[in-house]
Structure 1
Amino acid sequence: MIKTDRIEIQCPQCGHNEFEHPEKLKDNDFIKCNNCHFEIMLADLKEVGMEQAKDVIIPEAKAEAEKIFKNLFKGFK
């Protein structure tokens, strides 16, 4: 079973995960990292977040699949 159920988007510059943003957020709004003050458009940060999530989830899913297949074929040796 994949253990990660939540991934926080991290600033692409410093890795911090808290951002300053407008109350009614739209994809073309800029948000600012609370730590390093790096500004990025929300749409771009979403893409960064998807890549960060893939970096975590894909290895977990691969390890889980390998475990399942290993157990599945255990009796065929």
Structure 2
Amino acid sequence: MTKTDHTEIQCPQCGHNEFEHPENLQDNDFVKCNSCYFEIMLADLKEVGFEQAKDVAIPEAQAEVEKIFKNLFKGFK
């Protein structure tokens, strides 16, 4: 089982995870980082978030698969 069950999208410029955004937010609206004031379209920020999540989830999944295989073949020495 993977360990991370929640990640927050981080600003691609500074890593902060809080953004200012308009009400009724749409994918083509811009959001602004509360720390460095970097502005990015929400759709692009979602893509950044997806890549950030993959960077966390894939290594965790690989480690878990390796652990499963290691335990699976433990008795075949």
TM-score normalised by the chain length of structure 2: 0.98
Give the secondary-structure state (helix, strand or coil) at the position aligned to 1:9: coil
> 2:32 matched to 1:32?
yes
Structure 2 gaps of 5+ residues are none
Runs of 4+ with deviation above 4 angstroms: none
Q: How many residues align?
A: 77
Task: Find the counterpart in structure 1 of residue 48 from structure 2.
Answer: 48
**In 1, Cα distance between equivalents of 2:25 and 2:3:** 30
Give the secondary-structure state (helix, strand or coil) at the position aligned to 2:32: strand
The Cα shift of 1:76 comes to 1.1
Q: Alignment identity in percent?
A: 84
Cα shift readout 1:12-54 (whole Å, capped 9, x = no counterpart): 0000000000111100000000000000000000000000001
Task: Find the counterpart in structure 2 of residue 14 from structure 1.
Answer: 14
TM-score normalised by the chain length of structure 1: 0.98
Alpha-carbon RMSD:
0.5
